[in-house]
Amino acid sequence: MTRPRRSALYMPGANARALAKARSLDADVLIMDLEDAVAPEAKAVAREQVAATLAAGGYGRRELVVRINGLDTPWGADDLAAVARMPADAVLLPKVEDGPQLRASIQRLDQAGGGRLPVWVMAELPQAVLAIDAIASLAPRVAVIVMGTADLGRALRLPADPSRLGLLPALGQCLLAARARGLDILDGIFTDLHDEPGLRAACQQGKALGFDGKTLIHPAQIATANDCFGVSAAEAAAAASVVAAWEAAAAAGQGIAVLDGRMVERLHAEEARRLLGLHAACSVEAGDPDRNRE
């Protein structure tokens, strides 16, 4: 079954109350953050709290990811050793620059006992965007690319712009690399917590560009991301009609079908099946009693 990643919420690892509350949130992915959301003096405490929280469980079907500090920082090596022992679903590596650096990081993770962990990669540096195909080529060990648009925009010296015009070349390049390697890719954060229309517009743009979901910084953003990146009942019904039309044509030995005046080919049926799988997965998530458990 397709795993939905419509909403990926960063959770500050030093905030025990927030980590506990996350068990009741409707996010598809929880990113337990040891990096940007944690002050230097709280790094060790955050690492211990995230380990204890994940060990306690209770997160239902939510995907649990731990973002560590860079391996060139004073905390990265200890983070890597700790996350290798945590019951996480993946580890998110920040400040990745190129393929060789990423290979070395994965080797260190494996040596620490984390060979079972899929690796998610932050694309937040210009170097990473230029090397994104080499980074994505490490699939299937690399499973997801996460855009770090705040850091990337700052590095590119871009002015604040709701259209994100200056980021579009980098976003497109990373999307191409992800799809070429069969990877999911998540859009960057939206920082204005009081601008729901702006968040919705950003999510709609991300969906139109081809992203699978959006990274978030506050629980209030979850519902909008889930709505924009999900599959509505009407969209699911339309996808089912496409699949039915294609299957009927294929059974009759025909290479194409016509539905409501439109041509339907195999590629349309395959995309329709993907949408149906996402719709089914989101429906299961919504109906999971553990998902919204306090």
Instruction: Provide the 10 A C-beta neighbour count for residue 24.
Output: 14
The amino acid present at 88, given as its one-letter code, is A
SS3 247: helix
pTM across the whole model: 0.93
Q: What is the pLDDT of residues 157-190, one digit of tens each?
A: 999 999 999 999 999 999 999 999 999 999 999 9
65 forms bridges with which residues in the sheet? 31, 90
11 forms bridges with which residues in the sheet? 32
Q: How far is CA 134 from the centre of its chain?
A: 19
The amino acid present at 242, given as its one-letter code, is V
Q: How far apart are CA 71 and CA 93, in angstroms?
A: 9
Token pair of 35 as six digits: 């990096």
Q: How far apart are CA 174 and CA 152, in angstroms?
A: 12
> Residue 288's pLDDT is what?
57
CA distances for 166 relative to 125, 174, 258, angstroms: 14, 14, 40
Instruction: Provide the 10 A C-beta neighbour count for residue 133.
Output: 15
Are 61 and 285 a contacting pair, CB within 8 Å?
yes
Q: Tell me the HSE value of 92 on the side-chain side, using a 13 A CA sphere.
A: 29
The CATH topology of domain 7-229 is TIM Barrel (3.20.20)
Q: What is the pLDDT of residues 79-93, one digit of tens each?
A: 999 999 999 999 999
Least confident span in 138-147, 162-171, 244-253: 244-253
Q: What is the pLDDT of residues 23-71, one digit of tens each?
A: 999 999 999 999 999 999 999 999 999 999 999 999 999 999 999 999 9
What residue segments make up the domains of the chain, in order of their start?
7-229, 233-287
